[in-house]
């Protein structure tokens, strides 16, 4: 059974460019989470969806960040315009059942560098 699939694995781009990160959750999972991981701040929840609907986006740092989930098998996280401080590893995770007590399955992340 395929796990959570993220693309691209690495992205290097210049400040001001639009960045789109993609995620395919595990089939049958109805929760999808986007995280950002840095040395300074650890793993931070940006936004999560339940049945394709955004439930909590309080972790989205600013209006430059947006996330969509057009269907149960695909989600995007977009940064426009990108800034050097957005450099981090971005993870997508999915889970079934309830939001608080089911294991989350993570992808291998997108390593983003903004020059």
Residues that bind other proteins (CB under 8 A): 4, 33, 41-43, 45, 48, 56, 91, 93, 98-101, 103-109, 111
Shortest approach of other proteins to residue 12 CB, angstroms? 16
* CB 82 to other proteins: min, Å: 22
Which among 60, 68, 69, 77 is positioned nearest to 18, based on CA atoms? Answer: 77
Q: Which is nearer to other proteins, 58 or 81 (CB)?
A: 58
CB-nearer residue toward other proteins: 74 or 106: 106
What's the closest the beta carbon of residue 16 comes to other proteins, in angstroms?
Answer: 27
Place of tokens 């940064």: 79
Minimum CB distance to other proteins smaller for 14 or for 40: 40
Both structure tokens of 34: 């986007």
Distances (CA, A) of 67 to 14, 22, 44, 45, 56: 21, 10, 15, 13, 11
CB of 81 to other proteins, least distance (A): 27
**CA atoms 103, 11, 65, 76: torsion sign:** negative
């Amino acid at each position: 059974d395929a796990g959570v699939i993220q693309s691209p694995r690495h992205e290097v781009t210049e400040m001001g460019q639009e960045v789109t990160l993609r995620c395919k959750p595990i089939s049958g999972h109805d929760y999808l989470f986007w995280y950002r991981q840095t040395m300074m701040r650890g793993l931070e929840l940006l936004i999560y969806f339940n049945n394709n609907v955004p439930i909590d986006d309080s972790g989205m740092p600013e209006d430059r960040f947006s996330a969509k989930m057009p269907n149960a098998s695909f989600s995007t996280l977009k940064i426009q315009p990108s800034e050097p401080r957005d450099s981090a590893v971005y993870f997508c995770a999915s889970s079934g059942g309830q939001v608080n007590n089911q294991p989350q399955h993570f992808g291998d992340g997108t390593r983003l560098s903004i020059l």
